């Protein structure tokens, strides 16, 4: 077994391992918290710093003087101003905050991009992805490790085609990101729901019944006594998941479960930052207004924004 084969088997073992009896598998995709700190500007702006830069970037603030901090914040503002009209709107600030919070996704895409853009043309075709990921399976159609790679490849191809907006079977970096992280893209949410239902729907009737719902997140493993959280999940299924009370979850009910309409913390924070910094109350911010309130955005300490600026080039 070569290295690629070993790594795939390792990831599959992790993905397909049954939950331990006391553990709960969570299929719900929630927006991450902007910060684990209390949002109380009367005490500190730590929450705002985490939200604006991401917690890891915010930790590096101690290196620069206030003057250096203001200078680098000004460079960040130029990146946030997407249409280059000299103003930062709530929507532009919201998009930046979401980028900062999900920087790990872009880092993951960069790592995988290098391994799949085989001809280094700045694009990843389905053939390139298939050959890099499943090449050895095509050479050995009956592997002895027990996994159905052909079925996985068909599923991947379906998702790749969904991510590929223009249908040319060649993915740009944005389309490749949608392929790898479909839950982050509105137009990919149907495929997230479809794949989830296929995983849980053991009798293949296109619906999820109560026992399939529980069986996905909990394995009895010979234990007759269910934990309290399992009993609660049974109640949740009957009272909230199965909205039409037919005993099963259809596509729309499954979507409401795994992709809930969460409160938009990024938009709330963007509106807060604009409100606090908008000196002339025109509903948008100039670079000067942001830099004047630099302690709200980046604090009186400062940070090395170099990585943020480089990573944001693809944003």
Q: How do the domains of the chain map onto residue ranges?
A: 66-207+250-309
Please state whether the predicted TM-score (pTM) of the whole model is above 0.85.
no
**What is residue 61's predicted lDDT score, i.e. its pLDDT?**
58
Contact assessment for residue 48 and residue 297, using Cβ atoms and an 8 Å cutoff: yes
Contact assessment for residue 35 and residue 47, using Cβ atoms and an 8 Å cutoff: yes
What Cα–Cα distance (Å) separates residue 269 from each residue in 52, 60, 81, 114, 272? 9, 21, 17, 34, 5
**What is residue 43's predicted lDDT score, i.e. its pLDDT?**
83
Contact assessment for residue 212 and residue 196, using Cβ atoms and an 8 Å cutoff: no
Closest CA to 238 of 248, 225, 226: 248
**What is residue 70's predicted lDDT score, i.e. its pLDDT?**
87
Full pLDDT tens readout for the chain, 315 residues: 443 444 444 444 444 433 344 455 678 887 778 888 888 888 888 889 889 988 877 776 556 778 888 888 899 999 999 999 999 999 999 999 988 888 888 889 999 999 999 899 999 999 999 999 888 776 666 656 556 788 899 999 999 999 999 999 999 999 999 999 999 899 999 999 999 999 999 999 999 999 999 999 988 776 668 889 999 999 999 999 999 999 999 999 999 999 988 778 899 999 999 999 999 999 999 999 999 999 899 864 433 344 444 445 544
| Residues 6 or more apart in contact with residue 136 via CB below 8 angstroms | 2, 4, 5
Q: What is the per-residue burial (b if ≥16 Cβ within 10 Å, else e) of 253-273?
A: bbbebbbeeeeebbbebbebb
CB atoms within 10 A of CB 314: 12
Contact assessment for residue 278 and residue 285, using Cβ atoms and an 8 Å cutoff: yes
* CA contacts within 13 A on the Cβ side of 220: 9
Closest CA to 134 of 147, 115, 153: 153
Number of H helices, E strands in the chain: 17, 4
Query: What is the rounded end-to-end Cα distance, in angstroms, of the chain?
Result: 38
Contact assessment for residue 61 and residue 53, using Cβ atoms and an 8 Å cutoff: no
| Residues 6 or more apart in contact with residue 284 via CB below 8 angstroms | 87, 88, 89, 90, 274, 278
Phi, psi of 35 (to 5 degrees): -165, 150
């Amino acid at each position: 077994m070569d290295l690629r084969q070993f790594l795939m088997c390792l990831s599959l073992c992790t993905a397909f391992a049954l939950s331990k009896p006391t553990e709960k598998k969570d299929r719900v995709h929630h927006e991450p918290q902007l910060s684990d700190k209390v949002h109380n500007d009367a005490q500190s702006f730590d929450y705002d710093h985490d939200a604006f830069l991401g917690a890891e970037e915010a930790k590096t603030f101690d290196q620069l003087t206030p003057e250096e901090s203001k200078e680098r914040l000004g460079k960040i503002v130029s990146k946030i101003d997407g249409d280059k009209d000299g103003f930062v709107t709530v929507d532009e600030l919201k998009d930046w905050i979401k980028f900062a919070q999900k920087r790990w996704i872009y880092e993951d895409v960069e790592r995988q991009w290098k391994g799949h853009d085989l001809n280094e043309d700045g694009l990843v075709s389905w053939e390139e992805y298939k050959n890099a990921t499943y090449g050895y399976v095509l050479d050995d159609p009956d592997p002895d490790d027990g996994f159905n790679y052909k079925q996985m490849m068909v599923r991947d191809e379906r998702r790749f085609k969904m991510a590929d907006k223009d249908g040319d079977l060649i993915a740009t970096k944005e389309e490749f990101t949608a392929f790898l992280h479909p839950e982050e893209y509105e137009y990919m949410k149907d495929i997230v729901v479809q794949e989830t239902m296929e995983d849980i729907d053991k009798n293949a009737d296109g619906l999820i019944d109560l026992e399939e719902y529980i069986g996905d997140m909990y394995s009895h493993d010979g234990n007759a006594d269910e934990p309290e959280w399992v009993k609660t999940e049974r109640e949740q299924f009957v009272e909230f998941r199965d909205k039409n009370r037919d005993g099963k979850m259809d596509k729309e009910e499954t979507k409401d479960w795994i992709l809930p309409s969460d409160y938009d913390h990024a938009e709330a924070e963007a509106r807060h930052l604009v409100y606090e910094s908008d000196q002339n109350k025109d509903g948008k911010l100039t670079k000067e207004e942001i830099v004047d309130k630099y302690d709200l955005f980046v604090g009186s300490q400062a940070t090395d924004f170099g990585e943020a600026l480089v990573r944001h080039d693809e944003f």
